[in-house]
Structure formats: structure tokens, C-alpha cells
Amino acid sequence: MSVKISNKIQFEKADIYLIGLLIIAILGFWPSYFSKFFDGTADFTQYIHAHATVMMLWVAFLILQPLLIRQKKLAVHRILGKISYVLFPLVIIAGALLAHHRAEFETNLARGLFIPFKDIVVLLVAYGIAIYHRKNIAIHARAMIATAIPFLEPALVRFLNWSLPDAFPLRPYLWTVIIMDLILIGLIIRERKEKKGRWVFPLILGLYFVIQFILFFGVDIPGWRPLAEWFAALPLT
């Protein structure tokens, strides 16, 4: 059994590209997180540690799954797939708890909570598609890859923030948006002739277009502000 959809996109080699995501995550969070363990200043809360741990575990999971398929270790692949039923909820819970913990420090609560929760929404949509279509390799593989996109944004924006010179044109977040959109557009163009599952990446790109429109133009989502205030007031952290 192989996850090779066609000669256009070889999903069984996705681990090679996902290792790049892991490297970007380490580089992006190096100054503010990982380096602190070496200079003795890692005084982070348990919410930050929990979020960082499950985030790295999920990226490792995404790297291992296509690697196992390429090595034809399908039994182990299926076992890890079932483990994701526990790991993925932990990813969502850790992200929500960290957002709640940081809510009291937000000057604009509605916008501050929208940023982490838009990632949660994308993750839920992508993983939901992957699980619902778990027996359809064409859709399942694309949707699982799509769950990596929300992890790319915070890592890449931090990496660009400290690596780009101050005089560099455009803000790091805008460059991050451009890069993420170009990656998705590139995937869509590359698999434009595929007959199955090619709607997954356009759907994710459409979600990001909506999210980016809301952020860049400051769109006030009806009901979101009171919902954000309600969430922040919950006794969670």
C-alpha cells in the first residue's frame, strides 16, 4: 500500500518537507523559548511548556506517518493514527489554555484571542476532514498535511522577525502570509489535474483568505467580542 496519489505529488515523501517545518519551529522559537534552557532563564508557565510539547509532538507525528508508509510499516502507521485521537485533542486543549492564560495581558481581547483561535479552527477543519475520510488516501493525506500549516505561521513569523533586518520591506507577518499562501497556491497548481482530493488545499487556502481579510481590515465579527470576554472570564487558568 502506498500513499502515492500520482507523479504530481508524492505524499509518502511529505516527511522530508515537514522536517523543514520542524527546523523553522526550532529556529523561530529559539530566542524566546529553546535558548532559555541553556542560559538558565527558562521560567515559563506550565501552559507554555504544555503547548510547546504537544506542538512538537504533533509535528513529529506528521513526520513519522509518511515515513512509516514509505517503509511499508502500515501496522505502526495505523497505531500512531489511533494515538492521534488522544494527541490532537491535547493540541487543541493546550492551545486554548495558553490563549486563556495570556488573555489578561491582551490590550485588545477580541483580536488577541482571535489569533490563536483561528489556528484552532483551521486545525479542527483539517483534522476533521482527515478523520472523516481516513479510508480515502487521496483526501486523508492532503488533510493531514494541512494540519501542519497552522504550526508554520507562528514559527515563521518569529523566525522572520529576528532574522530580517529592520530596513527590510514589509513586516514579518505580511511576509509570513505571503509565503504560506504561496505554498498552498503552489500545491493547488501542482495537483490541478488530480481527480481525487484536490479540493482540500483550496478549502484551506479559502479559510486563510477569510482569516487574513479579517485581520488586515479589522473586521468586527458579530458575536465574537462577547464570546471572547466570556472565554476570558472562565476559571480555566
Q: Is residue 5 part of a domain?
A: no
Nearest-Å Rg of the Cα atoms of the chain is 18
Q: Is residue 38 part of a domain?
A: yes
CB 234 within 8 A of CB 100: yes
Taking the alpha carbons at both ends of the chain, their separation in whole angstroms is 45
Q: Is residue 136 part of a domain?
A: yes
Q: Is residue 1 part of a domain?
A: no
Residue 172: domain span: 11-233
**Given this model, what pLDDT does residue 2 score?**
39
Mean pLDDT by 10 residues, the chain (237 residues): 43 81 94 93 94 96 91 91 96 98 95 96 98 92 94 94 79 93 94 87 97 95 96 96
**Given this model, what pLDDT does residue 193 score?**
83
Q: Is residue 206 part of a domain?
A: yes
In DSSP notation, 163-201 reads: HS-TTSSS-HHHHHHHHHHHHHHHHHHHTTT-SSSTTHH
**Closest Cα to residue 55, out of 152, 179, 162?**
152
Q: Is residue 6 part of a domain?
A: no
Q: Is residue 139 part of a domain?
A: yes
Distance, CA of 135 to CA of 52 (rounded, Å): 30
Q: Is residue 4 part of a domain?
A: no
Distance, CA of 60 to CA of 78 (rounded, Å): 15
**Given this model, what pLDDT does residue 91 score?**
98
Global confidence as pTM = 0.91
**Structural domains of the chain, count:** 1
